[in-house]
Structure 1
Amino acid sequence: MTFAPLMFRLLLAGTALAIAAGAAAQETAPPETQAAAPPQVEGKPPPYEQRLVRLAEILGSVHYLRNLCLSQPEDSWRRSMQQLIDKETADEPKRRERMTAAFNRGYRTFASVYTACTEPATLAEERYRAEGATLASEIVARFGN
């Protein structure tokens, strides 16, 4: 498998996490010009799988927390995750299910705790964005070459 498409997607996710520093920041959808990654053998996940699943969980958490604290909901985090899932798990339904479940787990975890935008919710969102940006950078640095 070539890691170039993965590197682009992770850089995109990491950049999106870093750019989202302001709660009122507006984000645009990333271009959809990247070719789909070649399918992998379903039995052997890539070496970055655990990190990618954690990134999916973080994106789900950030999606919930950002929308909780914004006056107008945004869908950019969910769209970014959907694009990552579509490109990374094209012909691998089990990996697709794992990544979708991780995103939903991150979303539901915070939905069960925070029902209003509070200072701890804002702090959690900032910390998760920072963790996601670090994780995306690490994946690219280790597996993107």
Structure 2
Amino acid sequence: MRQGLLIATALLATIGPASAQNFFERLFGPPRQPELSPQPQYQPQYRPPPQQRRAPAQQRPASPPKEKEQKAEPAPPVEPPPAPYEKDLLRLAEIMGSLALLRPLCSAPDGSEWQTRMQALLDAEGTTPGRKERLAGAYNKGYQAYALTYRICTASAQDASTRYLREGETLARNISSRYGG
């Protein structure tokens, strides 16, 4: 019996891989050799610069484009260095924005004046677009800071309004006395 087992094992060992290969050949067919296509040889080609590649009918005359120069917008003016009182002026604009919200909220008689005062400040000090944008941004920052907090007039809103009036008055007085007015 042992001999039969050895013969069967030897037979399976010799037949095993062949039958497995036959199985794949029956499913997928005999193995194919990959076809090698000849690689194209690289041949450098001369390409003219982009200006010369245009067809003659598409080329434009060599006249200078004066129309485009006239239509182009001028470069924005160079921003001068900030004034020495720039920081105080931005703080004043922020205070004016806060007061523009707080004063009308608490029914102050000067409630409607803060927007026109800010417009006067923009007209006087907004000499460049960048500076005008910074001043308006400071005003909006002050306005929005309290717009998120206060919907009605409270004691805290009145107190903040009073403090801002004093601080704004001090800033305006210092700026005008130190830097001319």
TM-score by length of 1: 0.67
In terms of fraction of residues, the more helix-rich structure is 1
Give yes or no for the alignment of 1:105 onto 2:141: yes
Partner of 1:69: 106
Q: Deviations over 1:86-124 (max 9, x none)?
A: 12113x000000000000000000111111100010000
1:144 and 2:180 correspond:
yes
68-77 or 93-102, which moves further after superposition?
68-77
Question: Partner residue of 1:46?
Answer: 83
Note closer, same or farther for the CA distance 1:95–1:131 as it changes in structure 2 (3 Å cut): same
- Change over 3 Å in CA distance of 1:125–1:144 after alignment to 2: same
Change beyond 3 A, Cα 1:129–1:41 = farther
Which AA in structure 1 matches 2:116? R
Distance 2:171 2:162 in 1: 14
2:93 aligned partner:
56
More off after superposition, 114-123 vs 135-144: 135-144
The match for 1:16 is none
Distance in structure 2 (CA, Å) of the matches to 1:124 and 1:71:
13
User: How far apart in 1 are the matches of 2:124 and 2:180?
Assistant: 15
CA offsets 1:56-81 (integer angstroms, 9 cap, x no match): 00000011000111188942111110
Corresponding residue of 1:80: 117
How well do the aligned residues superpose, as a CA RMSD in angstroms? 2.1
Unaligned 5+ runs, structure 2: 1-76
Separation in 1 of the partners of 2:172 and 2:109?
A: 27
Offset of residue 43 of structure 1 = 3.1
**Greater gyration radius:** 2
| Percent identity for Structure 1 against Structure 2 | 46
Question: How many residues get paired?
Answer: 105
Cross-structure match for 1:7: none
**Partner Cα separation in structure 2 for residue 55 and residue 139 of structure 1:** 10
Tell me what 2:69 maps to: none
